[in-house]
Amino acid sequence: MPAVVVVGMQWGDEGKGKVIDFLAEGAAWTVRFQGGANAGHTIHFGGARFALHLLPSGAVRAGVRCGLGWGMVIDPGRLLEEIEALEARGISVRDRILVSGRATLLLPHHAARDRAEEAARTGTPIGTTGRGIGPAYESRAARAALLLADLAEPDGEEKLRIVHESTNERLSASGAEPIAWEPLLASWRRWRAEIVPLLGDLSGAIEVALARGERVLFEGAQGTHLDLYAGTYPFVTSSSTLAAGACAGCGIGPTRIERVIGVAKAYATRVGAGPFPTEATAEEGARLRERGSERGTTTGRPRRCGWLDIPMLRAAVRWNGISGIALTKADVLSGRKTVPVAVAYDLDGERIAHPPLSPSALARVRPVFEEWPGWETIPPNASRVEDLPPNLVRYAERIASSVGAPIVLLSTGPAREQTVACTIGTSAD
């Protein structure tokens, strides 16, 4: 399967980092196509834990090449920090990175504005990560952004000065301290020296890899319901998190994609504000948070926790064209007699199978819960479906038949080895 896209089916934090790391065995490339350092992909291996924010998950696998597509917003300072942190642990990555020169350059002004504007949203904060994502995409849409390719241009510093002055005006208007010019210029020169060697034509490199039959994994950040268009607007991120975003964000055609893997946690979590129909009670939520270590990788914020939401997953299957589901963190639910699962919603007295598109209707829906049988502890060395508790397999089957896509991976713990490749369930009810 040469070109595979991996996306989150919920609100991010589904365990995509681990799934991509597992699938990256034998892959030539892992490629990020949207978002920026708002993402946080956690990978555990060899007893160590790695949190990646800008680099794709293949960064921790020797020999796997790492692409950063033009759909991303990239803070070069953070990218260098991440590269250096891996180097400090003996993982050399510079010679494996290729960054599209058309990616948007995220400046300190964007992050400062993100925080100032979020602080000003006193009534309804979005709960952004404060990494400047929204303002950087806004600059791009306004055709006022710098691109990473500008770092290499002779007039780059002049362009930086113009953007610096205008974005500082926006910053002051939002009540934040302006960014100082001299340190910015010093950073720019360092970025020019260290980032320019990483720039190139990612689209062309992927085309060559696919023509050779090599495997390329496109790694979505955040999740389906944080997509700028499809998600729970306005409580969303500012990029296209859907599988089609891989094409638009890297310069590859949709006919090249062979498979789309959706990653879903066995329950649900959300960081930041916005509708969350299956959110658990405070007590149940605290128990899930504790057992599942549900804290944001990027911001350290506690995640809101709740139950599996079938209407949300159904929508994710359709909007992404998901051909297989990786179900993660089933171990967190072990030991329960039953597990609540929302199989539909009640909207003003009517039963509906898909999330309504109006944000206020979504805020009003009431989940229709069923109690599905729970399972005992999962054997630590489970490697085949036969090793799994039968009720967990039944849980996976019911999800597959309810949403119309098979479960193809079942993750039973944080380590690489705690992953069962399978085919559970095949068709819709």
Binding mask 199-228 for ligand IMP (x = CB under 6 A): ----------------------xx---x--
Q: How far is the CB of 210 from ligand IMP (least distance, A)?
A: 27
**Buried b or exposed e, range 354-365, using 16+ CB within 10 angstroms:** ebbeebeebeeb
Nearest to ligand IMP by Cβ — which residue? 272
List Cα–Cα distances, 255 to 10, 220, 251, in angstroms.
25, 18, 12
Tell me, letter by letter, the H, E, C secondary structure of the chain.
Answer: CCEEEEEECCCCCCCHHHHHHHHCCCCCEEEECCECCCCCEEEEECCEEEEECCCCHHHHCCCCEEEECCCEEECHHHHHHHHHHHHHCCCCCHHHEEEECCCEECCHHHHHHHHHHHHHCCCCCCCCCCCCHHHHHHHHHCCCCCEHHHHHCCCHHHHHHHHHHHHHHHHHHCCCCCCCHHHHHHHHHHHHHHHHHHEECHHHHHHHHHHCCCCEEEECCCCHHHCCCCCCCCCCCCCCCCCHHHHHHHCCCHHHCCEEEEEEECCEEECCCCCCCCECCHHHHHHHHHHCCCECCCCCCECEEECEEHHHHHHHHHHHCCCEEEEECHHHHCCCCEEEEEEEEEECCEEECCCCCCHHHHHHCEEEEEEEECCCCCCCCCCCHHHCCHHHHHHHHHHHHHHCCCEEEEECCCECCCEEEEEECCCCC
Binding ligand IMP by CB under 6 A: which of 100, 104, 237, 323?
Answer: 237
φ, ψ at 325 (rounded to 5°) = -115, 135
41 catalytic, yes or no?
yes
129 binds ligand IMP per the rule CB under 6 A: yes
34 binds ligand IMP per the rule CB under 6 A: no
Binding ligand IMP by CB under 6 A: which of 10, 30, 128, 232?
Answer: 128
Return the residues of window 243-262 that contact ligand IMP according to CB under 6 A: none
Binding ligand IMP by CB under 6 A: which of 2, 12, 56, 71?
Answer: 12
Q: How many CA atoms lie within 13 A of 185 on its CB side?
A: 9
Binding ligand IMP by CB under 6 A: which of 131, 140, 259, 314?
Answer: 131
13 catalytic, yes or no?
yes
Q: How far is the CB of 138 from ligand IMP (least distance, A)?
A: 11
Based on CB atoms, which residue is closest to ligand IMP, 58 or 223? Answer: 223
Q: How far is the CB of 111 from ligand IMP (least distance, A)?
A: 10
Q: How far is the CB of 216 from ligand IMP (least distance, A)?
A: 22
State the catalytic residue, choosing from 41, 109, 110, 225. Answer: 41
Binding part of the chain for ligand IMP, among 38-46, 153-161, 314-322, 408-416 by CB under 6 A, reads 38-46
232 binds ligand IMP per the rule CB under 6 A: no
Based on CB atoms, which residue is closest to ligand IMP, 121 or 190? Answer: 121
Binding ligand IMP by CB under 6 A: which of 10, 30, 34, 38?
Answer: 38
Based on CB atoms, which residue is closest to ligand IMP, 34 or 100? Answer: 34
Q: How far is the CB of 127 from ligand IMP (least distance, A)?
A: 4
13 binds ligand IMP per the rule CB under 6 A: yes
CB within 8 Å of 104: residues ≥ 6 apart: 70, 72, 73, 74, 136, 137, 139, 140, 145, 146, 147, 148
Binding mask 267-296 for ligand IMP (x = CB under 6 A): ----xx------------------------
Contact status, residue 42 vs residue 263, Cβ threshold 8 Å: no
133 binds ligand IMP per the rule CB under 6 A: yes
39 binds ligand IMP per the rule CB under 6 A: yes
Q: How far is the CB of 225 from ligand IMP (least distance, A)?
A: 10
Q: How far is the CB of 52 from ligand IMP (least distance, A)?
A: 11
Based on CB atoms, which residue is closest to ligand IMP, 8 or 389? Answer: 8
Binding part of the chain for ligand IMP, among 26-34, 66-74, 125-133, 306-314 by CB under 6 A, reads 125-133
240 binds ligand IMP per the rule CB under 6 A: no
Based on CB atoms, which residue is closest to ligand IMP, 150 or 294? Answer: 294
Q: List residues binding ligand IMP (CB under 6 A).
A: 11-13, 38-40, 126-129, 131, 133-134, 221-222, 226, 235, 237-238, 271-272
Q: Provide the annotated active-site residues.
A: 13, 41
